[in-house]
Structure 1
């Protein structure tokens, strides 16, 4: 048969068969769209900084940046010394150091949570009321004058009986204060800690619904993060994954799952000296969280280290190496966000993030360019891999590790092109172009 001859196409099934199958699967199609909408495509901060409610002030973000820069000036005053501490390669030393300093000057904190839970503790009601009202005023002012972090909000007390009423009131005072100051900012984030049962998530959803109704807000305007700090939040008494139930109980409002390193470790009986984000118990919990959240649009965040980079230079360098290593480890495991507890953690947070994206940039850009141009290479990439490659580049752009000009130069793609590859239609991921 000649190559130019047209093939004869024949079928055996009537069109009604396909129609009947599609009709039978329509409920499943709808369920897939509802439960697994995919990543929202919005920016995910690389970290969350927790500041106790009574310590939060109008200059907190600027102060953290200045303290972080001072730590660099004192303990790693140039690119070579910083690279030597962290083991950065020669080609990464200067660009990473320069970008870290620029980040600390212009956007030292990407996500800030004013803490009314463990970092704040029990206080007289009048004092917590006043602190919550002040937090609302300061956050509203920060968004108005351009000094806010991209994301800001509060962590209230949990939904357990002993502190439930206090937590609800603090949230009410805070949100009401924001509304009085001009409305809810786009970057608002709420964190619900110590969740052990899906019913607590459901109760929180009802609380947010009541607030939205009271102020005439669109249903679903208020979302929240779920903090995973107990064994019960991972595994239920019947052996099922509680965290998966929590995501569904949030009714589309859950935006993140945050791992609580020390509460969770203590819950499992891990001794204090071994409570860390790389403990096997932590890896197990985060793996369950990651699988439960996959495809739902809920993002997973790693926890923190409590080893502070303070004291003499040798001690600071040791703490920096630890934090840098833990952050790089988390990034390799696709935990793109973590917690930072001290201004001295910020330089190594950004150093780890920037190095992660810059060292793999050229390879990722080249692979995506070949995929987009349908050019063969030494790796046979699929649509799902193109999604991962574009997502990697977009995350690098969002945090400041990469510039759009250099990405465009190596890929030939615009940001809109990258976003298209990063968020394909569901069926597109099952069809290879190779």
Structure 2
């Protein structure tokens, strides 16, 4: 072999250093604002239960009610699949996983609601309810029956209910902290946010409680509910969501779309208020772009058609809910709200079928990418990141098993996490 050709350049090291120095602030800003996807599991749903209806057996009773509804209206895999339009090949594995999920972890994320679902109450009554909710959550955690994620939705920071919301949050957290360390999966939801200044105020509340409770800085985080038009488009005509994320100072973990408040604010008639209305799609598209790369996760809202009554009504509600969950998953909204035990079967059926249907193609493409064989599709690193993220989400929710994913891709979970940019998984 001949000698390699000598490589020459024209730019000096000083030029490169100068370019680096001129972009140092941009580099720091990118690292701060866009840290990438978090490595921990995202729940597939949030169950909202009014504080006065919370009971020691709420999670277990929701699972039992969901199983009873299945037994009555779709007693086997074939009948359940027929109602929802799930393929014959997936009917048995999806049904089996749904039943198992309802038995051992029917609720992934529980939100004790002190806002719309609870309503205005005398102060003494809400004080007592906040204490009781904290005790019940602490007891469930000690008994090992608490869901992986749980917390409260406080009243918003608008003037009429601001003090009440702050007091309930304070009572709940103070009581919970007195029972022991705060749960790792603790979630606080701030509703009806319209201005970035309200987010700044919420971040300050978290900081002040950390100081008062001897907690490490940054221990408390919160979700923002996007249910006002001001949260999407400000009075100055600029998109508002990104400013809200920035105003949280790293404390915001999620953006949750509020179907009915937002629809009503847009003057959508009651009969057409739904997660797939064009107004909803616009709001969620703005949320999605604002959150991309920030580590802030997205959640779709709820539907109000409940699976109750005779079989034909239950089946109609199931099909509607299942279809909307599938639609949300395809649009990269991997979480949503469930407001009734009867929505749990269709939530999990939609989620499990989504990942199991996509497993063969995703695994084949990722295996071809890592092997450098192409497989007929020219995938790039960004696509490999999406494919790996898809498989990790499927593993996180229980739709997929590690052995089958590794068998199809040749990749263990740590390697998938690296490809997905989730190095902490």
- What is the TM-score when the length of structure 2 is the normalising length? 0.98
Change (3 A) 1:424 1:8: farther
Alignment partner, residue 365 of structure 1: 363
Matches within 5 A, 1:230-379: 230-379=228-377
Q: Secondary structure at the match of 2:47?
A: strand
Separation in 1, partners of 2:310, 2:294: 45
CA contact (8 A) 1:387 1:424 kept: no
Given candidates 16, 19, 28, the residue that maps to 1:18 is 16
Number of equivalences: 423
Structure 2 contact 38–422 (Cα < 8 Å) conserved: no
The secondary structure found in structure 1 opposite 2:163 is: helix
Structure-2 residue corresponding to 1:382: 380
Q: Does the 8 Å contact 2:94/2:352 carry over to 1?
A: yes
Query: Equivalent residue for 1:129?
Result: 127
Contact 2:196 2:243 in 1 (8 A): yes
Out of 179, 184, 187, the position equivalent to 1:181 is 179
Q: Which consecutive residues of structure 1, in runs of 5 or more, have no partner in the other structure?
A: 426-434
Equivalence for 2:55:
57
- 4+ residue runs of structure 1 moved beyond 4 angstroms? none
Alpha-carbon RMSD across the aligned residues, in angstroms, is 1.0
Verify: 1:139 aligned to 2:137, yes or no: yes
CA contact (8 A) 2:37 2:422 kept: no
**1:81 aligned residue:** 79
Q: Do the aligned partners of 2:234 and 2:240 also contact (CA within 8 Å) in 1?
A: yes
> Is 1:158 equivalent to 2:156 in the alignment?
yes
SS of aligned partner of 1:50: strand
Could you tell me how far apart the structure 2 residues matched to 1:146 and 1:386 are?
A: 37
Counterpart of 1:148 in structure 2 is 146
1:362 Cα offset (Å)? 1.0
Q: Is the 8 A contact 2:402 2:413 kept in 1?
A: yes
- Per-residue deviation, 1:41: 1.4
CA distance in structure 2 between the partners assigned to 1:174 and 1:330 by the alignment = 32
CA contact (8 A) 1:277 1:303 kept: yes
Q: Distance in 2 between matches of 1:187 and 1:310?
A: 31
Whether the 8 Å contact between 2:77 and 2:95 is mirrored in structure 1 is: yes
Aligned to 1:399: 397
Secondary structure of 2:187's aligned partner: strand
In structure 2, the residue matched to 1:38 is: 36
Aligned to 1:421: 419
1:235, 1:241 within 8 Å by CA — same for their partners in 2? yes
